[in-house]
Structure 1
Amino acid sequence: MTYRVALASLCASVALTGPAQAQDINLTMSHYLPPVLGLHVDFLEPFARELEEKSGGKVAVDIQTAGSSLGTITKQWDQTQDGLTDISFGLHGIPRGRFICTQVVELPFLTDSVEEANKVLWGLFPDHLAEEHAGVKVLGLMAHDPGVLATNGKRVEKPEDLKGLRIRVPSPFIAAMLEDLGAVPVGMPPGQVYENMQTGAIDGVVLPWAGLKEFRITEVTTNAIEIGAYTTPFYFVMNEDTYNDMPADVQSVVDEISGDALVAKFPDWWTAWGAAGPAQITDAGGEVISPDAALWQEWIDATAGTVARLEADLAAECGPQLIAAARALAAD
């Protein structure tokens, strides 16, 4: 049992005849983000409070964030699987190499909207990704809005404009794509991008609008193109023993506020978190390019070889049915 169950002390006068009080279920939730970001404020904190409220006060949730002993990005999955925490939110791509098949949603240009990305990821889970998520109860999987290429002092519109540019990349798939287009991929935590773009150490970054805004990268961006080349998957999971040891009525609450009902909220949240990003650039005199169909096709054509290679690697690891299922969900 991974949560602490405390039975209230009974008065001596009712020790033999009085009923025991309800269990108090104390849960620890962890994630790797600062508590000021939208993921914490709009999603994780409200989820914890809703679980407390709908359980009738049986559950209390303590949230540990970035900077705490439980807030390390590389440890979120292991902490919950091993029972050190009860619930965690983490990034599939860190540490690398664990969720190989889940990377399918990171294929360049597989999806073109946050709604589509979340539909594909959650739709693949039952039949194609469940094995990679064994050992925990999956409360939800999410993907962010399509990526934006933001640069400082370098205008990128067409794929060939990337040649020689040093670009911070979010994943190996996007690193491969940019390298094939002549850019120099740079690995770097998003919290370091502002300073490095400001000083010219890097020329740009690929991030969703929410990341550009919340890390203030829009302040050092002169040009951005909504290439929509990628998304990134995240997990939200609970320790299996924690869930199995809960009373049936509390399990029902967990089931009610997670799964399909929770995943349906993710697209609107990501859209809201990034909504102010474009105006922050244009109001400062910068440019935001939204590609038309012809320009979009140029990018797809220029990266077709990269995508074919990445798909072949994934098919070798996970089977060709994974790629087919992902593309079918994206086209539906």
Structure 2
Amino acid sequence: MLKKTALALALNLSIAAMAQAETLRLSHWVPATHPVQVTGIEPWAKSIEEASGGDLSIQIFPAQQIGSAPDHYDMVRDGIVDISWTNPGYNAGRFPIYSLIEIPFHISGGAAGAKAIHSWYQDYAKKEMSDVFFCAVNSHETGALHSKKKITQPSELSGLNIRPAHATMARFVSNLGAAPVQVPAPEAREAIARGIADAITFPWGSIYDFGIDKEVKYHMDLPMYVSAQVLLFNKDSLNGLSEQNRQVIYDHCTPDWSQKMSQGWVDDDRAAREQMIADEGHTVTRPSEEEEALWREAAIPSLDKWKSDVAASGIDADKTYEDYLQSLQENNADY
């Protein structure tokens, strides 16, 4: 009788635990095989599940299954998903402070850069992304320019159609006489294949991930920019968790986790770059010091425009910029 009672009690406790377990839905827009998911999101989600003792699990929806890439901020804000992997740069003008990280020639490394961005932006996020909970930054290694013809100087962009990584890069190429073709990453290959775009700013690994290596054969080996995505939580979803489980989430929304989540993507990009250099069907060219100086000079108007936009919203642009530079330096991520 005692054995039956103990068994029934254990069964009831198990059922109660299952009833209390919560599944959070996470949406992103790259393939499920992409390092963003395999080396970043999945280990992060597994760590959350383990730290919560199985109370929390995260169900991942990749490849725009729930919504298109540009819609991911609104999706998590509105509770369509509990967590989203969002590119703020797909929402032009909406997050002017964050767009600072998109200005070329500031970041030298993606993983350390992700930690630096998180450390710098986490307080600004409370103002600029106040309707969601800012959790983490996920960055690729510094991206490059990939094109149908060899390019090493800014003047050679004039007259070309270029798919930029985000709105900031769109303004950058526009200032150099190019026409931006603004399509999300999953649509980039088609734009190039159909002749709508002549070049693209993209991470090295994603050139292979999206099959764009079949369309562009020339690559400028210059670390131009990052497009650092952010992991965001719906506030109601987060606040609906127990205090203990909310703390588990907070413990996984730190600058260190931003770096850890980004490292696999960065390693993949670095390996892809080496693969591209070794591929006889591709030409990888490093601009000269004089040419690089021209590129860096070409980015100055983008920084001036950022300062103007941020100042207009009542933010001290100079202090914000200096804080950003300091965070990059402290994390050995400055270019």
Q: TM-score, normalised by structure 1?
A: 0.83
Question: What does the per-residue CA deviation read over 1:129-168, in whole Å, with 9 as the maximum and x for residues that have no partner?
Answer: 321122333221233322211111x110122222222211
Equivalent in 166, 174, 179 of residue 179 of structure 1: 174
Residue 108 of structure 2 corresponds to which residue in structure 1? 112
Structure 1 residues 190, 281: CA separation in 2 closer, same or farther (over 3 Å shift)? farther
Equivalent in 204, 211, 222 of residue 206 of structure 2: 211
Letter in 2 for 1:100: P
Question: What does the per-residue CA deviation read over 1:200-257, in whole Å, with 9 as the maximum and x for residues that have no partner?
Answer: 4422111111321211212322211133222223211223333333234323332333
Structure 1 residues 248, 234: CA separation in 2 closer, same or farther (over 3 Å shift)? same
8 Å CA contact 1:105–1:120 kept in 2: the answer is: no
Alpha-carbon distance, 1:300 to partner: 0.9
Residue 296 of structure 1 corresponds to which residue in structure 2? 292
Letter in 1 for 2:86: G
Most deviating of 111-120 and 138-147: 111-120
Most deviating of 187-196 and 166-175: 187-196
Alpha-carbon distance, 1:91 to partner: 1.2
Residue 34 of structure 2 corresponds to which residue in structure 1? 37
| Residues in 2 aligned to 1:20 and 1:45: alpha-carbon distance in whole angstroms | 26
Residue 273 of structure 1 corresponds to which residue in structure 2? 268
Unaligned runs of 5+ in 1: 1-9
In the alignment of these two chains, the number of paired residues is: 318
Question: What does the per-residue CA deviation read over 1:35-88, in whole Å, with 9 as the maximum and x for residues that have no partner?
Answer: 2222122222332233223322222332223343x2332332333333332222
8 Å CA contact 1:122–1:142 kept in 2: the answer is: no
RMSD (CA atoms): 2.9
Higher helix share: 2
SS of 1:29's equivalent in the other structure is strand
Structure 1 residues 233, 304: CA separation in 2 closer, same or farther (over 3 Å shift)? same
Residue 232 of structure 2 corresponds to which residue in structure 1? 237
Alignment identity in percent?
Answer: 24
8 Å CA contact 1:117–1:144 kept in 2: the answer is: no
Residue 283 of structure 1 corresponds to which residue in structure 2? 279
Most deviating of 171-180 and 293-302: 293-302
8 Å CA contact 2:154–2:298 kept in 1: the answer is: yes
Structure 1 residues 309, 252: CA separation in 2 closer, same or farther (over 3 Å shift)? closer
| Residues in 1 aligned to 2:74 and 2:197: alpha-carbon distance in whole angstroms | 33
Equivalent in 304, 311, 322 of residue 324 of structure 1: 322
8 Å CA contact 2:69–2:184 kept in 1: the answer is: no
Residue 47 of structure 2 corresponds to which residue in structure 1? 50
SS of 1:173's equivalent in the other structure is helix
Residue 169 of structure 1 corresponds to which residue in structure 2? 164
Alpha-carbon distance, 1:180 to partner: 1.9
Structure 1 residues 71, 165: CA separation in 2 closer, same or farther (over 3 Å shift)? same
SS of 2:106's equivalent in the other structure is coil
Question: What does the per-residue CA deviation read over 1:95-122, in whole Å, with 9 as the maximum and x for residues that have no partner?
Answer: 3332221111111223233245324421
SS of 1:246's equivalent in the other structure is coil
Q: TM-score, normalised by structure 2?
A: 0.83
Structural mapping, 1:190-205, within 5 Å: 190-198=185-193, 200-205=195-200
8 Å CA contact 2:90–2:166 kept in 1: the answer is: no
Residue 253 of structure 1 corresponds to which residue in structure 2? 248
* Structure 1 moving runs of 4+ over 6 Å: 17-20
Structure 1 residues 308, 98: CA separation in 2 closer, same or farther (over 3 Å shift)? closer
